[in-house]
Amino acid sequence: MRQRHRPWADDFLRDNTGLIIPEAEEKKGRWKEVFGNNNPIHLEIGTGKGQFIAGMAEKNPDVNFIGIELAKSIIVMAGSKVKEAGLDNVLLLHVDAADLQGLFAENEISAIYLNFSDPWPKKRHAKRRLTFPTFLEQYEHILQPGGEITLKTDNQGLFEYSLVSFSEFGLKLQDVHLDLHSIEDPENVMTEYEEKFSAKGQPIYRCRAVFA
Ligand code: SAM
């Protein structure tokens, strides 16, 4: 996602520490306490400008959502969206997803969403893909038993790689779609990238992978 300089980003981060949580690792194992309820927590990695997480949170008020986004100029866009919508079941973390186990305790998360993750097409960059086995190890640790990963992408290469990676790791594949928008799915919440690529007529791939 293209990053723009947003001069108001630092002010926004400073003024909204209840939404974009600083020093998030201190909250490890206590996220339900931070939300102030016992609802399940769903995690989106690479939240972008926040359309998906805001839409999901609105549709599912009994679920808490945490969005992780690396880019400062982008996470503040997500923050503004969530704030404007007045959602109290969303928190955002301005961190790299590389150390999820430093952020979440074992079994603390119920579901993970990977939406239009960077495909890293070069073989030598494979370990940066969010479905590389080192990431799957972390997901397995933080997800509760039976927890699932939902992957959506426009990128055929990343999709094929991920199906193999999930299977080799022992995850059970469910609902594999090669053209998600050819079916009616009232539950589907579109991301910014999903809107952009489907408007160009590109198929959207989706699957769910479940830890047995
Ligand atoms: N999910 C959004 C969507 O579907 O519209 C954004 C997709 S964009 C291609 C990928 C996003 O993931 C970017 O905003 C990028 O900054 C973020 N990202 C990539 N690697 C990340 C990482 N290791 N940790 C956190 N965010 C990451």
Query: Does 3 reside within a domain?
Result: no
Q: Report pLDDT for 7.
A: 83
Task: Indicate which residue's Cα is closest to atom 12 of ligand 1.
Answer: 46
Tell me the residue range of the domain where 180 lies. Answer: 9-210
How confident is the model over 52-89, as pLDDT tens digits? 999 999 999 999 999 999 999 999 999 999 999 999 99
Please report, for the domain that includes residue 118, its CATH number. Answer: 3.40.50.150
Query: Does 181 reside within a domain?
Result: yes
Q: Is the CB of 162 under 6 A from ligand 1?
A: no
40, 139, 141, 145, 146 from 107: Cα distances, Å: 11, 9, 7, 7, 10
Q: Report pLDDT for 2.
A: 65
Measured CA to CA, the distance from residue 40 to residue 108 in angstroms comes to 8
Query: Does 105 reside within a domain?
Result: yes
Q: Report pLDDT for 1.
A: 63
Query: Does 4 reside within a domain?
Result: no
Please count the structural domains in the chain. Answer: 1
Query: Does 190 reside within a domain?
Result: yes
10-residue mean pLDDT profile of the chain (212 residues): values are 79 97 97 98 98 98 98 96 98 97 98 98 97 98 97 98 98 96 93 96 97 87
Which residues form the catalytic set? 118
Query: Does 198 reside within a domain?
Result: yes
- The pTM of the full predicted model, rounded to 2 decimals, is 0.97
Query: Does 1 reside within a domain?
Result: no
Q: Which ligand 1 atom is the nearest neighbour of the CA of 46?
A: 12
Which helix (H) or strand (E) segment holds residue 145: the answer is strand 143-153
Query: Does 104 reside within a domain?
Result: yes
Q: Report pLDDT for 6.
A: 79
Helix, strand, coil percentages for the chain (3-state, nearest 5): 40, 20, 40
Task: Indicate which residue's Cα is closest to atom 7 of ligand 1.
Answer: 116
Q: Report pLDDT for 131.
A: 98
Q: Is the CB of 99 under 6 A from ligand 1?
A: no
